[in-house]
Structure 1
Amino acid sequence: MARKTSAQNRRPAHTLARRREILDITRQIITENGFENIRMRELAKRCGVAVTTLYNHFGSRDELIAAVLENDFRGLYGPLSQKTADLPPDRKFISRVVYACDNILAMSDYTATVLTFYFRPKVDPILRSVVHDYVAGDFAGIAQAIAELGELQDWVEPADFGSDVVTQLYAIVIIWLQGYMLPSALHPRLLRAGATAFAGVSKGKTREAFERIAADPLSAIHDAATASAPAIRP
C-alpha cells in the first residue's frame, strides 16, 4: 500500500501540487475507463509530464492507483474517525455508514468501478488491500471498543469480524449499483445489515443499541444527527 514517507512530507509545495494533480487525473481516468485501462504513457501525456516522472513519484502503475484509492479513503474517513473517537460504538457505526453512503450516492460511477474491481476473482492484492483494509480496520476498531466495554462475545475476533462486515456491506452496494435497489433504500439497508451483524456479536446494552438501529434505521439516522450532526458531516 502506498504510504507517505518523511521524504515525501518534505517535498516542495509545487512538487506536492503536481502529485495531487496526477492523482486527480488518474482518478478521473479510473472513473471513466476502469483500472485496467490506466496506461502510464497515456497518463503522462494527459498530465503533461514525462513517464519517468510518474515512476519517480509512485514507483509503478499499481502503486499509483493504490495512492489514488488511499488518498480517497483516508481523506474521506480519517477526519471522521477522529471526530467520533469518543462516541459509543453504535454511534460510531451510524456515523461511518451514513457518511460513506452519502459519498457512495454522490460518486456512483467511481464506486461502481472500485467495487466491480474489488469483487473480481483475481484482483491485485495491493489494490484490494487499499479498498478493504482501511474500512475493515475501522469496523474492527468499533468491535474492539465493544470488547473494552466488556460487551463483545468471547468468540469474536475483531479483525476477522471487521473484514466480514465490510465485504457484506460492499455486496449490498453492488446490488444497488445493479439497479435492484432504489437510492433511497441504500442508507437503511446498509445500516440494518451492519447493525444486525454488530448485534450478533454484542451483548448487554451495546446489543440493545444495535438492535434498535436494525429495527428502525431511519430513526437511528435522525437521532444521531440530532444529537451530534458534526459526527456525520465532518
Structure 2
Amino acid sequence: MLYFSKMDGRRWEPLQHDNQSTVAADFRLRPKRRIVPCRPRSLYHKRSITMATTPRNPRSKSGNKPAVAAPTGVIPVYDSALMQERRQRILDETRRVIEENGIESLSMRELSKRANVAQRTLYNAFGSKDRLVGLVIQETYLTQLSRMKFATAPDTMEGVIERLARVCMHFGRKRNYLKAVMDLYFAPTVHRDTITMMRELSYGNSRPWLLQLEQRREISPFLSREQIEGDMTDLAFSVMRKWAIGDIGVARMADEAVRGFLVLAAGATTGEAQARALRTLALRKRRAAGPATAVEAAGMADMAGVE
C-alpha cells in the first residue's frame, strides 16, 4: 500500500515487520523520485582512456642487455685521469655554488651546465643531490682542517677545545657553507649514509682524547666512549643550528660549543679528566666571558691567517 501526502507531495510507505504484518501507525517518509530527462553521457563526458604502459628497461650501448645500476651507497671507482678530473670539477663547481648562493639555489640542471657534463652523469657518479653535497662538505672540511696549525695535541682536553673553537670561528665566516651543513644534517629526507659521514667528521675532534681516557679508565662506568661521542656531536650540531637560524653570533657559537663540551666532559669522565674539566669551567666563570683557556685564546687570535 502506498500513501501520498497532499501537503508536500511525498509518499508514505508502510513499515514491514518481521512477521510480514503491516501496522498502520508505522510509516516511513520517503521523498518521491523525479525523473529528469538528460543528455546522453557521450555528449558531456570525456572518455577516460587508460593505457597500460610497461616501463622500458634502459639498454646499454654495447648490447641488448639492460644496464645494471650501481648499488645504493657504493661510490664508483674512477680509474682514469679524465674521470678523476671530471669528478673534481663537479665537486669544485658544487662548492662554488654553495659558497656563493647557498644550498637552496643548487640545481642539478644548472650544475651540469657549469661543470660541462650531462645531468645523467651527475646522478650516475653521485647518486643524488644530497650525496653530492655531502661529499663536498666532507672534502671542504678535511681540506680546511689540514691547513690549520694547532698548538696542542689532539689527544688532550686542551686540543679538543682548541679545535672545536677554531672550527666554529673559521667556518662561521663561511656562512653559506656552514648553513648548508646544517640544512643537510637536519633535513628529514636526507640519506642515512650522509648523516653518518657528517657525524664521523665531528667525531674526529674528540675521538683521540676519548681513546686516551678509555685506556686510562677515566670514562664513567655508566657510559661508553661511543655514547659520549654521540652526545658531544649532538650538542655541537645543536649549537651550530642556533647560529644558522640567526639566534646567536659566531663568537657566541664557539663559546657555547666549548662550554657544552666541558659540561659533558665533567659529567662523563672521572679522575684527572673530570678535575681538569671542572677547573676549566671555574676559570670560565671567573672570566665571565671569552675563551676557556689561554691556549684557546691564542688559537682564536691567529685564525685570521687561516683560509
TM range (shorter): 0.7 to 0.9
In the alignment, the residues of structure 1 paired with residue 229 and residue 209 of structure 2 have an alpha-carbon distance, to the nearest angstrom, of: 8
CA RMSD of aligned residues (A): 3.5
- 1:1-234 equivalent positions in 2, closer than 5 A: 7-8=77-78, 11-12=80-81, 15-31=83-99, 32-34=101-103, 38-77=106-145, 86-217=153-284, 218=290, 220-224=292-296
In the alignment, the residues of structure 2 paired with residue 139 and residue 113 of structure 1 have an alpha-carbon distance, to the nearest angstrom, of: 23
Unmatched tracts of structure 2, length 5 or more: 1-71, 285-289
**Stretch of structure 1 that moved more, 180-189 or 158-167:** 180-189
Q: Post-superposition shift, 1:33?
A: 4.5
- Taking a change above 3 Å as real, the CA distance of residues 176 and 215 of structure 1, as seen in their structure-2 partners, is farther
- Paired residues in the alignment total 227
In the alignment, the residues of structure 1 paired with residue 281 and residue 187 of structure 2 have an alpha-carbon distance, to the nearest angstrom, of: 30
Going by fraction, where is helix more abundant, 1 or 2? 1
In the alignment, the residues of structure 2 paired with residue 219 and residue 67 of structure 1 have an alpha-carbon distance, to the nearest angstrom, of: 32
**Stretch of structure 1 that moved more, 186-195 or 123-132:** 123-132
Q: What residue identity is the alignment partner of 1:26?
A: T
Q: Post-superposition shift, 1:59?
A: 4.2
In the alignment, the residues of structure 1 paired with residue 216 and residue 146 of structure 2 have an alpha-carbon distance, to the nearest angstrom, of: 23
Q: Does the CA-based 8 Å contact 1:62-1:126 persist in structure 2? A: no
- Taking a change above 3 Å as real, the CA distance of residues 44 and 194 of structure 1, as seen in their structure-2 partners, is same
- Taking a change above 3 Å as real, the CA distance of residues 3 and 83 of structure 1, as seen in their structure-2 partners, is farther
- Taking a change above 3 Å as real, the CA distance of residues 132 and 210 of structure 1, as seen in their structure-2 partners, is same
* TM-score normalised according to structure 1 size: 0.78
Q: Post-superposition shift, 1:97?
A: 0.5
In the alignment, the residues of structure 1 paired with residue 141 and residue 75 of structure 2 have an alpha-carbon distance, to the nearest angstrom, of: 14
Q: Does the CA-based 8 Å contact 2:262-2:277 persist in structure 1? A: yes
**Stretch of structure 1 that moved more, 83-92 or 110-119:** 83-92
Q: Per-residue CA shift, 1:147-196, capped at 9, x if unaligned?
A: 11221112221112211211111111222233332333222211111111
* TM-score normalised according to structure 2 size: 0.61
Q: Per-residue CA shift, 1:108-134, capped at 9, x if unaligned?
A: 222122213322344321222222222
Task: Name which structure has the greater RCO, CA cutoff 8 Å, separation 6+.
Answer: 1
Q: Per-residue CA shift, 1:79-133, capped at 9, x if unaligned?
A: 77x9789554202211220221122321122212221332234432122222222
In the alignment, the residues of structure 1 paired with residue 276 and residue 141 of structure 2 have an alpha-carbon distance, to the nearest angstrom, of: 27
